[in-house]
Structure 1
Amino acid sequence: MANISKKVSWSGRGDDRGERTPLLNGAEDGKYNRHVLHFVFQSLDYDNSENQLFLEEERRMSHMGFRCLETRRWVICGLIGFLTGLIACLIDIAVEKLAGYKYSAVKQNIEKFTEFGGLSISLILWAVLNSAFVMVGAIAVAFFEPIAAGSGIPQIKCYLNGVKIPRVVRLKTLAIKVFGVICSVAGGLAVGKEGPMIHSGAVVAAGVSQGRSTSLKKDFKIFEYFRRDTEKRDFVSAGAAAGVSAAFGAPVGGVLFSLEEGASFWNQMLTWRIFFASMISTFTLNFFLSIYHGKPGELSSPGLINFGRFDSDYIPFESFIFFSFHFPGGVLGALFNVINYWLTIFRIRYIHRPCLQVMEAMLVAAVTATISFAMIYFSNDCQPLGQDNTEEYSLQLFCADGEYNSMATAFFNTPERSVRSLFHNPPGSYNPLTLGVFTLAYFVLAVWTYGLTVSAGVFIPSLLIGAAWGRLFGILLSTITSSQSIWADPGKYALIGAAAQLGGIVRMTLSLTVILVEATGSVTYGFPIMLVLMTAKIVGDYFIEGLYDVHIKLQSVPFLHWEAPPTSHWLTAREVMSSPVTCFNRVEKVGRIVDVLSNTSTNHNGFPVVILSFLQPGKICGLILRSQLIVLLKHKVFVERASSRLSHRKLQLKDFRDAYPRFPPIQSIHVSQDERECMMDLTEFMNPTPYTVPQETSLPRVFKLFRALGLRHLVVVDNENRVVGLVTRKDLARYHLGKDGLEELHLAQT
């Protein structure tokens, strides 16, 4: 029998808890425990409650009504793609304008003071401009919407997994996200604007599909049928895919990203709708950017980043060389994640106040500018400036007339342009020392930057690091072979290196392969890219998890993976369930319901409904949620005890949808003493067919049922169908495979 190692004892119930906003970094007052799961994270209801109201509404709906609903789903997906494309266009134009102004000012200043030895003024100007941009963006995030920090991909993964992350899909979050990423990229940080597009698309999807905005306190009464977690999840999946499509011009890659990294439920029609949203997104961005660039109708900008087409070929022998890239990619990716892991813990413990977070972001911006300037200043890598040169901000510095500083090309451009130059600049554009120093410096800056309280992504920095050492490998290869050799073109090695580095950090395989193939327009390199991504993931997983999984753990989120931990078959539902369980009778006294909800305001969100048996646990006959009880109390759905006559109006599903998703707390509902003596009949509102399992069911079987069906509560019954326990997400998520075997995490409320 496998051993289970308890890092710390488990206390409390496993019921779905929490109405408070959790601290998303897994800490409070600078404390952090990596062996803790927080109770404050709630689950989402991805399983529809098929109560009498729901069934009556579905039965009344005609075939044409269902067709109209399906048409609305397509319309919503089209709107999601259109709005996501517009947001991407706004970000791209704003970053280009601000970065252009900044680079022009610094470039002119450098050229002005080069002759007079006053370059320190240029350095100060560069550092001040970077810090100013980053300060504004960091203040917006730290003081107004902390959930907008980072790329948002870990939070969206958690949401699609079934975890309710507070404020993650609010309109205010979207506004701060867009503003913050513009400031971060314009501020010269080692970040990209592509990652946050996934979060932005998800927020757009969540808002459009509900036809309301809680931030603006507007309710447009449109699409209200879709106001439930099940429908909202599908649209958020479409929004995430549309974000990927807008970022990389890869609609198929966007669909696969949603499938691989997020969606807990999938079907064929959902695939088509998500693909439709992705296509609309990239077309919208392409169309409006063509107008902005003064070439209406010339659709040549399908995504925020354009890697350019790879027309070069490779010979079969090079496949073995490409395959060898998996080891440095996996090792460097694991090193990146390990360093960032400990750095994030340091931030949680010592830099948890907003003012300190802003100061750290400004410090990183200033250090980034200083390191960049110093490396440009001391570099003597001068390259000829030809007519076909693609560098927009070529800097001469101490190079001769007609030449530019190659190190400035890597640091002075935006990261996206630097990636493209590493992919496509001709052989001889960089010397090995330049690329080696740049790789080391940018690796350190990227590790330090990810996790700051700014809106930023890690995709482009990862690609840039990998492209740099990949091109360096290609240059070294060309020195030991003929320069005319077909397999010594450094550009294609930059592509494979970029894939290996990105795969080693984020550990995605299928979606990244398609994204890179679509973004480069070269199916030829699809096989080596896929091979490198898969093997880099295997190498990296040997040391540590992917970056997004690391940060999900750091936030102490009860995330459920696809499979139960190995060696867990010996555990049963009886051993993992929460017990005893608070149950209600089919007809319950209002006073008891109010007392239970008041006394367990942060503890319980689901209650089995039972039929009382004399001196025995009740037999299960249904399940009702806290949110449903809140609505029933709000509308006074009571039965007078004396006459047993109904004294309330008929409730409809619309009443529950109007309260979704921010149900009022029990403290805001007034129930008089006379009303406390009334009764409440739960028959019409409870789910009469909740999922149940026998108490001897193994943990992997419970896990598979819970995960595949997107459940929030799973009732455990005995041989006579009596309720003996309840399994929730946290009961399952607290078990994981550690170094000493199966480990059990601590469940804490703070």
Structure 2
Amino acid sequence: FFRIGQMSNVELDDELLDPVSSRPFPVLSALSSLDYDNSENQLFLEEERRINHTAFRTVEMKRWVICAMIGILTGLVACFIDIVVENVAGLKYKVVKDNIDKFTERGGLSFSLLLWATLNSAFVLVGSAIVAFVEPVAAGSGIPQIKCFLNGVKIPHVVRLKTLVIKVSGVILSVVGGLAVGKEGPMIHSGSVIAAGISQGRSTSLKRDFKVSALLAGLLAIPGGVLFSLEEGASFWNQFLTWRIFFASMISTFTLNFVLSIYHGNIWDLSSPGLINFGRFDTETMVYTIHEIPIFIAMGVVGGILGAVFNALNYWLTMFRIRYIHRPCLQVIEAMLVAAVTATVAFVLIYSSRDCQPLQGSSVSYPLQLFCADGEYNSMAAAFFNTPEKSVVSLFHDPPGSYNPMTLGLFTLVYFFLACWTYGLTVSAGVFIPSLLIGAAWGRLFGISLSYLTGAIWADPGKYALMGAAAQLGGIVRMTLSLTVIMMEATSNVTYGFPIMLVLMTVRLVGRGVPAFFGLYDMHIQLQSVPFLHWEAPVTSHSLTAREVMSTPVTCLRRREKVGVIVDILSNTASNHNGFPVVEFAGDTQVPRAPGAVDRPSHTCAWPREALPPLQDASLPRVFKLFRALGLRHLVVVDNCNQVVGLVTTKDLARYRLGKGGLEELFLAQT
């Protein structure tokens, strides 16, 4: 149901060149909400009273065990993906390299191009077909879907076992197929599916907390993952949740290191790098000084602008896909086309490049000689002829002079558009690593240019590649705090924490000042018309009251009602809400002396006692805070006589947002 570039209800007749932030996104009324508050009915209270201290300790211990299981299984899935990608991609690149070396001497390199494009297209064909025809919700990184799910929006099939299988298989095939993708986003989605499977039969609030733990476990970065869960994933937070997600990530990282140590033949050596590892920087030789601070700020400005351009281009491309590429067969064909074009463009650039570098001291895994002399390799091939993760490491750590400025400029330009075209395909793929690779390329180019202009020895290209990578990724996804810590973890370097944070803060400020100010994940959430609730109500919404926001009329049930009437009401899908207040009737008036509600999906009768019904004259921020803080699904609105006059749902609150001209009301789309 929720797929990138599909099922959106944006008015397609509008001009596609409208700025992203000015388009009137609708809110899809067909999506239902999750109730993250405990149903405090009589059965629940009786069950709670029977639990003594020992039973409570047992329940708490089980929760910690579940977190450990989530960490172990997520770590094993990460190991499986990492090992399979390394071996299959390595085999593919070895076959293509041998073929290129063979035909370089004999002539007829067109056969090598055909082989490379065919292999890429074949892998992507399978990866795209299983997503398009078997489980469309497995498309993309999965982060927008999981954000919505944790926010309280019920996304069909998003945490099913079939989704996990398709997600894991799809991301392997996408990376091996040579697309401009990464595997970090799909790992977060995979961890959430694992958490949902293990926590079956428990309350929705507990399952939500376990899924947040899986966000961190899937990222396999302990402090950075905690901050990522807080900044991007979790819509509800508490102190116990912090400890649980930290524990789950610790177990996941330990599992990954232990299995990889066995795989690499260093059993009991737990110093194997995690899933996100870009090598250690030598801080003794690569220092930064105070006069470089303005340079880092300038790089942040560039990253913010390029990130906004990336998001705007991807927005227009997604709108085009919604209009013209909505059938599964067309989506598979497009994915194969992108794979073939990626291989073709890479081959042409490698073939045309005469940037030959000495092989000695290089970290290139599959060096291509082509027309270079013996003992040399083609540096353009070092960027293209590898997995994106290894290309990032090469740009970070290869010594000065390893890349020609023309090579870096062409690679940045081409890979920027390839990554933008790739994100939104019907494949399982993330944007984390491609964004870093684009930024590392133009950041290294920035450092080389600075060295040429100033002749300074402090302008190390690897240092500026790191800053460019952070700026580009921050410009696309608009993360600050968590991304700073993740970059520090991935490079095992605390020294550059301040400049990275400075770059990301600049990126965020620049991103808010351009028309397409949404981050990529939030942009696709809005494109899918999902009723997503942010942390706070719009700042200019105090003039609105609950009377103007609530849904009316409300279908109510008597405290003593006939079964047939209840069945008829619950089976009637014409109502615009799934909660039905239980009231007592006194003549022709409603007097809800026993506040309660019947929930359509669970058929349970309950109403949170702490959720006092707001008056119809309460302001929207007040209603929003009450609804959001308690994780409610419905909120009854009463008048001064305590009579039910309306019902507030997630969609009612999500209809209002802060636009360029002030507060905007979005329309409700039915399909």
TM-score w.r.t. length of structure 1: 0.85
* Deviation for aligned residue 1:702: 1.2
Is the contact between residue 606 and residue 623 of structure 1 (CA under 8 Å) also seen in structure 2?
Answer: no
In structure 2, the partner of 1:27 is: 7
How far off is 1:602 after superposition? Answer: 6.5
Q: Secondary structure at the match of 2:105?
A: coil
**One-letter amino acid of the structure 2 residue matched with residue 232 of structure 1:** K
Percent pairwise identity: 70
CA contact (8 A) 1:622 1:686 kept: yes
- 1:734 matched to which residue of 2? 655
Structure 1 counterpart of 2:191, which letter?
G
Paired with 2:3 and 2:598, the residues of 1 have a C-alpha distance of 25
SS in 2 for 1:27: coil
Give a deviation string over 1:306-330, Cα, whole Å, max 9, x none. Answer: 2111122212222221121111100
Opposite residue 623 of structure 1, the aligned amino acid is G
The residue that corresponds to 1:338 in the other structure is 312
Q: Structure 1 residue 619: deviation in Å?
A: 2.3
Q: Aligned residue for 2:532? A: 559
2:67–2:245 CA contact under 8 A, matched in 1: yes
Match of 1:594 in 2: 567
Distance 1:287 1:709 in 2: 40
Contact 1:621 1:688 in 2 (8 A): no
CA shift, 1:690, in A, is 4.2
Distance 1:194 1:35, change over 3 A: closer
Distance in 1, matches of 2:9 and 2:484, equals 41
Match for residue 213 of structure 2 among 238, 256, 266: 238
Instruction: Tell me what 1:382 maps to.
Output: 356
Counterpart among 44, 50, 57 of residue 40 in structure 2: 50
Structure 2 CA distance for partners of 1:280 and 1:105, relative to 1, 3 Å: same
Tell me the distance in 2 between the aligned counterparts of 1:620 and 1:308. Answer: 65
The answer to whether the aligner puts 1:297 opposite 2:272 as a matched pair is no
User: What CA RMSD, in Å, does the superposition of the two structures yield over aligned residues?
Assistant: 1.7
Does 2:549 match 1:576?
yes
Check 1:167–1:121 CA distance in 2 against 1; reply closer, same or farther (3 A cut): same
Deviation at 1:31, TM superposition (A): 7.2
In structure 2, what is the equivalent of residue 78 of structure 1? 68
Q: Distance in 2 between matches of 1:121 and 1:75?
A: 55
Which whole-Å CA distance do the structure 2 matches of 1:618 and 1:355 have between them? Answer: 56
The separation in 1 between residues aligned to 2:610 and 2:335, in whole angstroms, is 52
- How many residue pairs match? The answer is 656
Distance in 2 (alpha carbons) for counterparts of 1:630 and 1:369: 54
Preserved contact between residue 570 and residue 600 of structure 2 (Cα < 8 Å): no
Q: What is the aligned partner in structure 2 of residue 445 from structure 1?
A: 418
Per-residue CA deviation, residues 438-460 of structure 1 (Å, 9 max, x unaligned), is 00000000000000000000000
What is residue 18 of structure 2 aligned with on the other side?
none
Query: 2:16 aligns to what?
Result: none
Deviation at 1:628, TM superposition (A): 6.8
1:527 to 491, 495, 498: 498
What secondary structure, in the 3-state scheme, does the structure 1 residue paired with 2:555 have? coil
2:481 is matched with: 510
Q: State the SS of the aligned residue for 1:609.
A: strand
Q: What SS does the corresponding residue of 1:42 show, helix, strand or coil?
A: coil
For the residues of structure 2 that align with 1:408 and 1:373, how far apart are their CA atoms? 8
Q: Distance in 2 between matches of 1:624 and 1:715?
A: 9
Partner of 1:667: none
**Equivalent in the alignment of 1:40:** 30
Q: Does 1:461 align with 2:434?
A: yes
- In 2: Cα distance, 1:307 partner to 1:406 partner: 19
Distance 1:367 1:155, change over 3 A: same
Q: Equivalent residue for 1:115?
A: 105
- The aligned counterpart of 2:302 is 328
Match runs of 1:194-593 below 5 Å: 194-210=184-200, 224=201, 227-245=202-220, 250-311=221-282, 312-386=286-360, 388-482=361-455, 485=457, 487-543=458-514, 544=516, 545-593=518-566
**What is the CA–CA distance in structure 2 between the aligned matches of 1:501 and 1:689, rounded to whole Å?**
45
Match of 2:623 in 1: 702
308-317 or 172-181, which moves further after superposition? 308-317
CA distance in 2, matches of 1:592, 1:410: 67
Letter of the 2:324 partner, please give it: Y
Q: Which moved more, 1:317-326 or 1:116-125?
A: 317-326
**Larger Rg: 1 or 2?**
1
**2: CA distance between counterparts of 1:628 and 1:496?**
49
- 1:134 and 2:124 aligned: yes
Distance 2:338 2:76 in 1: 30
Structure 2, unmatched stretches of 5+, are 14-23
- Given that 1:715 and 1:726 are in contact with CA atoms closer than 8 Å, whether structure 2 keeps it comes out as yes
The alpha-carbon deviation at position 123 of structure 1 amounts to 0.2
Structure 1, unaligned stretches of length 5 or more?
Answer: 1-20, 211-223, 632-681
Secondary structure at the counterpart of residue 173 of structure 1 = helix
1:618 aligned to which of 588, 591, 594: 591
Q: Which residue of 2 aligns with 1:663?
A: none
Residue correspondence of structure 1 range 622-633 to structure 2 within 5 A: 622-627=595-600, 630=603
CA distance in 2, matches of 1:25, 1:594: 38
**TM superposition shift of 1:481:** 2.7
Partner SS for 1:612: strand
Question: Do the aligned partners of 2:179 and 2:342 also contact (CA within 8 Å) in 1?
Answer: yes
Distance 1:82 1:410 in 2: 34
**Aligned equivalents of 1:30, 1:717: Cα separation in 2:** 34
The secondary structure found in structure 1 opposite 2:591 is strand
Q: Measure the CA separation in 2 of the matches of 1:271 and 1:692.
A: 31
Give how far 1:558 is off.
Answer: 0.3
Q: In the alignment, which residue of structure 2 is the partner of 1:105?
A: 95
Q: What is the Cα deviation at residue 47 of structure 1?
A: 1.1
Helix, strand or coil for the counterpart of 2:648? Answer: strand
**Alpha-carbon offset, residue 743 of structure 1:** 1.5
Q: Indicate how the Cα distance of structure 1 residues 32 and 65 shifts in structure 2: closer, same or farther if over 3 A, else same.
A: farther
Q: What is the 5 A alignment of 1:687-698?
A: 687=608, 690-698=611-619
CA contact (8 A) 2:655 2:666 kept: yes
CA distance in 2, matches of 1:686, 1:478: 67
Q: 2:645: which partner in 1? A: 724
Partners of 1:26 and 1:41 in 2: CA distance: 15
The one-letter code of the counterpart of 1:415 is P
Q: What SS does the corresponding residue of 1:743 show, helix, strand or coil?
A: strand
The amino acid that maps onto 2:375 is G
1:162-173 matches, within 5 Å, as 162-173=152-163
The verdict on how the C-alpha distance between 1:615 and 1:189 changes in structure 2, with shifts beyond 3 A counting, is same
Cα separation, 1, equivalents of 2:586 and 2:609: 18
Compute the displacement of 1:617 (Å). Answer: 2.7
- Secondary structure of 1:43's aligned partner: coil
- Answer with 152-161 or 529-538: which moved more: 529-538
* Aligned-residue offset at 1:625: 3.3
C-alpha contact (below 8 Å) 2:10/2:529 kept by paired residues: no
The letter for the 1-side match of 2:556 is C
Counterpart contact for 1:51–1:688, Cα < 8 Å: no
Partner of residue 713 from structure 1, selected from 613, 620, 634? 634
- How many Å apart are 1:433 and its aligned residue? 0.3
Give the direction of change, closer, same or farther, for the CA distance of 1:44–1:620 in structure 2 (3 Å limit).
Answer: farther
CA contact (8 A) 1:282 1:302 kept: no
Alpha-carbon offset, residue 141 of structure 1: 0.3
In structure 2, what is the equivalent of residue 176 of structure 1?
166
The superposition leaves residues 387-442 of structure 1 with CA deviations (integer Å, 9 ceiling, x where unpaired) of x3211111101000000000000000110000001100000000100000000000
Q: 2:21 maps to which residue?
A: none
Aligned to 1:4: none
Contact 2:25–2:526 (8 Å) recurs in 1: no
Deviation of the 1:621 alpha carbon: 2.1
